[in-house]
Amino acid sequence: MPGDALQAEAELYSTMELAQQLQASDVGTGTLEALAKAVDLLCRAYPVVPAVTLRDRTQKRLAQVTRLLSGRITLDQHRELLVITGWLTALLGCVRYDLGEREEAETARQAAYEMGRQVVHGELMGWAHEMSAWFALVEGRYEEVVTAARQGQALAGQSSAQVQLTLQEARGLARIGDRREADKALSRGADILAKLPIPENPDHHFVFDHAKWVFYAATAYTWLEDNDRAEEHTLETIQIHTRPDGTSNAPMRVADAHIDLGIVHARRGDLDAAVDQGMAAFDIERKSLTDLVNRAGDLDRVLRQRYRRKTLAKEFHERYTTARRALDTRRHELLD
């Protein structure tokens, strides 16, 4: 489980052997292997670990790697450490964006791209472009989503980054209403994904699998107002990520799926079901309030357009505006 991954990462760094290696002036093979494992564990913790916890842990590891980069190392070791630093920096950028730390997230994204460029690491550069597409999507800059996604695809090679970039392209196209090109991008992403090996750890943030494709497609179909396919994919997303005890192993995805399902119900005239789904999204504990408020705004607009005078629609609007104010307050606190 992702939460266990964070504990495993902590135990990895608690060993005396690794502590001694990190203090040495030379970087041994064991150190590089341990660092690569630590990055993997941190990326696997992303779906469920609180963003503040993951941000602080990632910054701590980055500081350790930075010290190693200033030591006596070979060119090959320098390259490996830059790749490790690039992945950590990309992860940090994602977490900072979840926390509403927009400028810091963009700085980290640019740094991750630069490290990928220095070592000619196409997938890392691709993920940096994906972050740019994601930021633009949340902020409503939909043409920029498509541009960033296509630029990243040209660099990423046949990889998880290329699949996610293709799906981000599809979502950007869906937002601007280009059904034909969005469908083509969704199909292209599925074709690329089919050629990749099944991932050993699909919970890794920089790994794309079938479950993530279903999730991305659900939102694209919702924005395209393809209600039947949207419902099919949202229900599958919720089913995939719901454990037997009712908890979720991907709360952010499940919350978004509830929003999408709420929009579908609203369009079909079922106000009760629409609001139930919207409230369910708010009840899920998730790391990114920024994304939740953005998606809840989609449902709120549909409800206000169709059911403005209805009590249930007003109740959801109040819940949404409360969350939006909380997000704005946190942003202002970060700026002060």
pLDDT digits (tens, 9 = 90+) for 260-284: 999 999 999 999 999 999 999 998 8
CA distances to 11, 39, 41 from 61, in Å: 13, 9, 12
pLDDT attached to residue 60: 92
* pLDDT tens-digit series, residues 98-128: 888 999 999 999 999 999 999 999 999 999 9
Q: Are 204 and 44 in contact (CB under 8 A)?
A: yes
**CA 250/CA 272 separation, integer angstroms:** 25
Helix extents (H) in the chain: 2-14, 16-23, 29-45, 51-69, 75-98, 102-118, 122-138, 142-156, 160-175, 179-195, 210-223, 227-240, 251-267, 271-283, 289-307, 311-335
Average pLDDT over every residue of 127-140: 96
Q: Is 334 helix (H, G, I), strand (E, B) or coil?
A: helix
Give the pTM: 0.87
User: What residues does 248 pair with on adjacent strands?
Assistant: 242
- Reference 167, options 183, 150, 189, 187; nearest CA is 189
The answer to whether 281 touches 255, Cβ cutoff 8 Å, is: yes
Q: What are the domain boundaries of the chain?
A: 1-120, 125-208, 222-336
For 125-208, CATH gives 1.25.40
